[in-house]
Structure 1
C-alpha cells in the first residue's frame, strides 16, 4: 500500500526508551582470526521492529560471540525514507539496513547504491515473490527479515459452523453467505471508516484477482495503459458498493475504528472483516488470545473466477550499501546468511506476532500461531499467491482511502470513485517522471 508501515506498525516510536546501541557509520574492522567485529544495522523505530531486532541481535551473539550487532533506529514513514536516501547518497549508511521491499526499494537506486547478493548460497531458498521485489534487471540485493502478510477476509469460524456455511470461492457465494449471516441477526461485514486507511483493503486486497484475470495489468498500469475505471480492476470498487447497498455493514461503520471490528469478530458479533492479516494477528495476540483458533482467513473472492488466491505483502529486506567494504562486507554477508535460516525465523516468531508464512525454505510457522495465519500456508504451498500492486508499481494516489470511504458509504458510485482515483494517480505519475 505504501501504507504498510502505517498499517502494521503504526504507532509512536520507542527507540529512545529501549537502550539500543546507536552507531551512525561502519563498525570496527575485523572479523577474522578471532578478532572482534561490530556491525551496525539501521532499522525503523516502531516498537515491533525494535523488539524483533533485539531478539535477533541477542540470538546472533550467542552463536557468534566475536560479532556485536549494534542497532540504530530512524523514524518510520517519509522522514525515515529521506534519512536512508541521504545516508546512501553521502556514503554514510550503516553496515546494513532493514527497509521496505518493492517500489520503495526501487526508489533507492539499488544498482548504484547497494551490494549485489546474487551469488550468495541462500538465494535459491527464498520465495520467488520476494526475490522479485528486491531485484532489478541487473541483480538481487536483499534478503527477507520478517514474515509475509495478506489482504484478505478475516472471518469468524464459529459463526460459519453454526450457520452451516462454507468458505466462499466466488463473489456470489460470499454475498450469499453475507445474506445468511444478516438473516441470523449478526453483522455480515464489519467496516471501520473511522480509520479511513482500513477502507482500502477491499480494493488493494483484490489485486490477485485483477492480475489473474488480466496478466501484466500492473506493468500496463505503470505505463498509463490500464485504469481502475475498467474491468477487472473496477471490481474492487464495485464490491465496496455492493456490500453497502445490500445492508451488510455494522450500523456504526462510518465512525467505527479498527479495534472495534477486531472486537466484533473476536466476540462473535460480526462474521467478516476485510483486513491485513498482520494487523489482526497482532491484535489477537495482544487482546483476544481466546480467539486465536476462532478467526480464520480466506482470499477476497473474485467476480469472474473461483480460482482464488491471496494478495500478499512481502517483508522488509536486509540490504548492504556499497560503502560497506573489506572485512565489514564479509561479516555483513555472514550475518545475512544467518538471517535466512530456520534458527533466525524461530527467533522472529518468538519476538513478533507473525501475520503470515515466512518466505524462506525450511522456515516453518510455530504451532501456536493464530488460525488465520496457518490458514494462509496452503495458498503459499500451492503457489496461489500474488504480490500486492505496490510491489509491482510505484503508482498509488494519496486520495485512495478517502475515495474508498465514499464508495463504501454510498456517497459515490463505484464507477465515479474508480474514475476519480484514476485522476488522482496521474499527479503521482507526473511526479515520478512517467510519460503519461
Structure 2
C-alpha cells in the first residue's frame, strides 16, 4: 500500500526482479527520435490553437512534478491539476464516482478497477500500443474480462527492515525461513531489545506478517484469489487454516515491542529509528518516507519477509496497486490517452522513478539511483520468487484489519472463528 495510506500502500529494484515477476524480458526503449522525452517541446502548429484543457489527476501519493512539467511543455494547451487525497481514499473516490464528479484520471486499487469496470466508470484502453512498454503482469493486473482499464505505475516490495548494526553485534544472519526468523527473534529478545515492532492504530500497517503469505498461496495456485472472489474457494478451506498463526505466534512469544500496539505508522517508524526494536515489517516506501541521508543511529538493512515453512519457497511480495485509469465520462479522453502514453516512455518513467524514489512497472524505466538500500537488498530479492500482491475484494479489508489488531492485543482468539469472519465478508462480494 508511498502506498502509505493505501492498501498495501535498489542502486534499484532492477529490471531483473520485475522481469521475474512478469515472466518476460524487457522490450527495447522507443527510439529517442520518437520518445516522449526526446520530443518534450511545444507541439507544433495546431496545438497552439486548441482550447485549453485541464486534466484532473487524483492520487494518494506524490507524483513527479518534473514529468508533469515536461508533459505540459510538450502539450502547452493541457494543464495537469493534481488532487492528492491522503486519507479515506476509497470512500472519497466512491462518493465522487456515485455523484459523477468532474474527474479525468485517478489511481485505483486493483479491486476497485474490477468493481468499477462493471459500472461503466472506466475508459477502455485495450490494445493501446504503449501498453507494450509495461511489464506483462502489470497490464494483466488492470485487465478485467479481457479489457484493459489501467496499469499500476509504481512497484515496491514488502520487506523486513532491520537494525544491521545490532544483527552484527549479536552475530545474527538474515533469516530465510519462518523458523530462522523465530530463532533470530529469540536471540534478540534475550539481548534486551524487542525483536519487532508492529503498531495497530493504522489498520493497514498491521498486515504484512500475515499477508506476506499471499505470495505463497499464489505460488501454489495463481488463480487462488479469483477463486476466493467467485466462491469456488473459501477462507475456511484447510489451505488457509494457518493464515493467522504467524502473527499470533509473534505476539504470544513476546517478540513484539511492549506497549506498541496503539502506535500509528509514523510512531512505529520513530521507535524503530530509535533502536527500540530490531525489525519492522513494512513496504519499501517505509525507507523513503522515514529515512534520509542524515540518519546515522545504526546501519539500516532490509530483507524479504520469510513466512515460508518447510519446503515452501521464499517469496517477495510486490505491491503494485496504484493503477492509472481514465474516467469514462471525462470530456478529455484523447488528452488522457496522451498523458498515459507520455508516462509510458522509459526515459520519462526514469524521471518519475528518481523523483518519487520508487520503482516503476515501465520496462527499463526504473531509475538506477532511486534507493540507497538496493545494493544490499537486490541480491536477496533476486534469490527469492516475486509475486504481485493479491487484490482483495472490497468487503475483506474492513474485517481483516480489525482481526489483526485483535491478535496484536493478545486477546483470546479462535483462529477458526476468525476465518469464518473472513468468509462471511467474502460472501458479501460474491
Separation in structure 2 between the aligned mates of residue 222 and residue 314 of structure 1, nearest angstrom: 20
Q: How does 1:150-299 map to 2 (within 5 A)?
A: 150-285=157-292, 289-290=295-296, 294-299=300-305
Structure 1 partner of 2:91: 78
Deviation at 1:8, TM superposition (A): 7.8
Decide whether the 8 Å contact of 1:292 with 1:370 is kept in 2: no
Q: Which runs of 5+ in 1 are unaligned?
A: 10-29
> Could you tell me whether the CA contact under 8 Å between 1:266 and 1:295 is conserved in 2?
no
Structure 1 residue 168: deviation in Å?
1.9
Q: Please say which of residues 401-410 and 130-139 is displaced more in the overlay.
A: 401-410
Q: Is the CA contact (8 Å cut-off) linking 1:197 and 1:401 kept in structure 2?
A: yes
1:302 corresponds to which of 298, 301, 308: 308
Select the structure with the greater relative contact order (CA < 8 A; seq sep ≥ 6).
2
In 2, Cα distance between the equivalents of 1:291 and 1:369? 19
Unpaired runs of 5+ residues, structure 2, are 10-43
Q: TM-score, normalised by structure 2?
A: 0.78
Cα deviation 1:123-148 (Å, max 9, x = unaligned) = 12212332122111222122444x22
Structure 2: distance between partners of 1:4 and 1:419: 30
Q: What TM-score results when the alignment is normalised by the length of structure 1? A: 0.77
- Partner residue in 1 for 2:336: 332
Aligned CA RMSD, in angstroms, stands at 3.3
CA drift at 1:312: 2.2
User: Following the alignment from structure 1 to structure 2, what is the Cα–Cα distance between the partners of residues 228 and 169?
Assistant: 27
Alpha-carbon distance between aligned partners in 1 of 2:348 and 2:382, rounded to the nearest angstrom: 21
Q: What's the secondary structure of 1:108's corresponding residue?
A: helix
In structure 2, what is the equivalent of residue 66 of structure 1? 76
Deviations 1:274-331 (A, max 9, x none): 222224431224x974479613131342124352112222142222344457xx5444
How many residues align structurally?
392
Of 123, 127, 131 in structure 2, the residue corresponding to residue 123 of structure 1 is 131
For residues 180-235 of structure 1, give each alpha carbon's deviation from its aligned partner in whole angstroms, at most 9, with x where no partner exists: 22222221111223444422222222211222244432122223343445554343
Q: Measured at CA, do residues 7 and 102 of structure 1 come closer, stay the same or move farther in structure 2, by a change above 3 Å?
A: closer
Q: Deviations over 1:313-353 (max 9, x none)?
A: 2142222344457xx54443232111112333233235434
How far apart are residue 61 of structure 1 and its match? 2.4
1:134 aligns with 2:117: no
| CA shift in 2, pair 1:288/1:417, >3 Å | farther
Give the 3-state SS of the residue equivalent to 1:43 in structure 2. strand
Report the CA distance shift for 1:424/1:215 in structure 2 as closer, same or farther (over 3 A).
closer
What's the CA shift for 1:116?
2.9
Q: Per-residue CA shift, 1:369-398, capped at 9, x if unaligned?
A: 141x6666567767822232326x445152
Matched residue SS, 1:99: strand
Q: Are 1:352 and 2:342 counterparts?
A: no
